[in-house]
C-alpha cells in the first residue's frame, strides 16, 4: 500500500485512534505516535499529530498538562475528558458501522 493511500485513509479516523490511545490513561505525543505505529498504522509525524491534539484540546475532548523533566525537554501529557470518552463512544460506533459496510461491499466485489 502506498504511503499516500494510507495517509488519506488515516485522515478520516485519526481523531478516533488518538482518543482510543488515551482510554487507559494519560500519554504524551511521542508515546501516542508510537502506540499507533505499533498497531500497524505507520509513522504519524508530529506535524500531523500535534494539530489533532490541539484541536481536540480546544474542543474539550482532551486536557493537557505540561510537565518539566529532570533530563531533556518537558512533555505535554494528554488525558481524555468525559466529553472525549462520549465522543469516542458515539463516533467509534458510527465508524464501525461504516467500516462494516465497506467490508461487506468489498466482499461482494470478491475481496476476501
Could you please report the per-residue DSSP string of the chain? --HHHHHHHHHTTHHHHHHHHTTTS-EEHHHHHHHHIIIII----HHHHHHHHHHHHHTTSEEEEEE--SSS--EEEEEE-HHHHHHHHHHHHHHHHHHHHHHHHHHHTT--
In the chain, how many domains are there? 1
pLDDT averaged over the chain?
93
pTM: 0.89
**What pLDDT is attached to residue 28?**
96
**Domain range holding 103?**
3-108
Check whether 1 has a pLDDT greater than 60.
no
| CATH number of the domain bearing residue 68 | 1.10.10.10
Amino acid at each position: 500500500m502506498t504511503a499516500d493511500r494510507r495517509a488519506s485513509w488515516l485522515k478520516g479516523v485519526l481523531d478516533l485512534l488518538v482518543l482510543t490511545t488515551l482510554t487507559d490513561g494519560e500519554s504524551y505525543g511521542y508515546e501516542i505516535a508510537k502506540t499507533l505505529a505499533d498497531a500497524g498504522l505507520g509513522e504519524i509525524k508530529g506535524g500531523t499529530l500535534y494539530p489533532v491534539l490541539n484541536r481536540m484540546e480546544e474542543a474539550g475532548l482532551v486536557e493537557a498538562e505540561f510537565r518539566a523533566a529532570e533530563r531533556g525537554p518537558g512533555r505535554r501529557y494528554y488525558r481524555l475528558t468525559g466529553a472525549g470518552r462520549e465522543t469516542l463512544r458515539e463516533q467509534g460506533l458510527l465508524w464501525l458501522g461504516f467500516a462494516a459496510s465497506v467490508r461487506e461491499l468489498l466482499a461482494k466485489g470478491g475481496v476476501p
